[in-house]
Structure 1
């Protein structure tokens, strides 16, 4: 399968990394910074010197440049035929309608990956022109499965998805950091605290999944009457921890809608 990637920044380099694992894919890549992409060239990755060459050689072309650079890309391919060619945009805040107008094309997908897709454990949202055939949609979802889960959602929900999925790792890191520093505060070394907290978070998620437990069920399983855990939960509720997290996510969501 022939895949193009235009723009090898944070998202583009992640796409190259994940897709290059599959030797059935032939990649054609372009970046304005030629030195940045020299390291990628091998038998399955071809470095192109023009945007138009990537689009012409690939069936599926990922456009992973910043939104303010989309015009620079689409100006180079506007006049090229889109027969058997599909554009997959990662640009935040650009709707399918925006992409149709900017590119002059209709064979377009809009996706929103996340930094943790680097590990193959992310979730990628996808929306697309409903006129595109089911076979092509299936092919694109198959490609995106190299990044983790693929979630088809209504475009109007992309802002909410972006906050939970793309901003989410920063929020989760903040919460983990709070646990880490709490461990140091009560006498553990940094390394021991980090190991305990990391295993606790990963183990909790795995346990919930394997045992098919609801979050509240696990919470009450661990809480003994008058015990240590329920005391900690009481203090969190008293400090409105849950409400503060919900408010932070809501404000980030509202900010994203204004972009």
Structure 2
């Protein structure tokens, strides 16, 4: 399978590097972006194939990732409209906030095969979380191909398009929330004498193990909280202090604001 990328920003690079780590050959990846120096250097660094135009990417690819900024997506789609309609690749959009209907309208066709996606940054290390939603033109076979690409670099969730803003908060922005939490734990360790590097390693591994426990356990996260909270113990005292400071409320408010911002 030939895979194309229109746009070579941070998310496109994360997906490309994640796929290559999982065995996708560089020679089967085709890229182009608005800045020649950017995509040519990246091609030299990784071995992926640089194309002279976005249309060339489409002509050479079975699946094309649309990975440009929302502000330029209309311009780019109008530029490649003829190539898309002629070659009819599966168009995989990672453009934030642009619906399938908007993509169809810009291309002037309801017959284009489109999968709207929202990967998070952890696809770069093969541990991403990606939302998927397809239009009716995407066959089960093509959809499975797209699923398998994202399953190489993490987990996928099929969701309704109306739920993308919620997904943005729960998976797209949440890595930053988790980094913030890990750093706060680490700084607390520094307060009591650990060096920052060691404290960060300890905190990050504790969070990683806890996340894996949630995924592997039949218990709810709250039941797992109870499991490690001895009556009258240190963990209970810490949890009560965090909740008095508004820990859960701050998380819910962060999600609320993220969703509101995404919806515009």
Alignment TM class, shorter chain as reference? over 0.9
With normalisation by structure 2, the TM-score equals 0.90
Deviation at 1:186, TM superposition (A): 2.2
Aligned to 1:34: 36
Pairing 1:75–2:81 present: no
Are 2:25 and 1:23 aligned?
Answer: yes
Return 111-120 or 218-227, whichever deviates more.
218-227
The corresponding residue for 2:14 is: 14
Aligned with residue 235 of structure 1, among 231, 241, 253: 241
Q: How does 1:183-198 map to 2 (within 5 A)?
A: 183-198=189-204
* CA gap 1:251/1:245 in 2 versus in 1, 3 angstroms: same
Per the alignment, residue 139 of structure 1 pairs with 145
How far off is 1:243 after superposition? 1.2
The aligned residue for residue 122 of structure 2 is: 116
Distance 2:207 2:135 in 1: 38
CA RMSD in angstroms comes to 2.0
TM-score, normalised relative to structure 1? 0.92
Unaligned runs of 5+ in 1: none
Matched residue, 1:202: 208
SS of equivalent residue, structure 2 residue 152: helix
Cα distance, 1:215–1:42 mapped onto 2, change above 3 Å: closer
Query: How far apart are 1:180 and its partner, in Å?
Result: 1.0
Question: Match for residue 259 of structure 2?
Answer: 253
Per the TM alignment, residue 16 of structure 1 is displaced from its structure 2 partner at its CA by 2.1
Distance 1:6 1:71 in 2: 13
Displacement of 1:101 = 0.9
1:59-103 CA distance string (max 9 Å, x none): 111110001111232122212334542211111110011100112
Output the CA distance in 1 between the equivalents of 2:47 and 2:86: 24
Tell me the CA shift for residue 25 of structure 1: 7.0
CA contact (8 A) 2:59 2:87 kept: no
Q: Deviation string for 1:33-65 (max 9, x for gaps)?
A: 222222425997321111111111111111100
2:113 corresponding residue in structure 1: 107
Q: CA deviation at 1:256?
A: 1.1
Q: Secondary structure at the match of 1:149?
A: strand
**SS of 1:131 mapped into structure 2:** coil
CA contact (8 A) 2:58 2:87 kept: no
Conserved in 2, the CA contact under 8 Å of 1:124 and 1:147? Answer: no
Q: Which runs of 5+ in 2 are unaligned?
A: none
CA distance in 1, matches of 2:30, 2:44: 10
Q: Is the 8 A contact 1:26 1:44 kept in 2?
A: no
Tell me the secondary structure at the aligned position of residue 79 of structure 1.
helix
Separation in 2, partners of 1:191, 1:42: 30
In 1: Cα distance, 2:5 partner to 2:108 partner: 19
The 8 Å contact of residues 26 and 48 in structure 2, kept in 1 or not, is answered as no
Conserved? CA contact 2:19–2:152, under 8 Å: yes
Q: Who is 1:168 aligned against?
A: 174
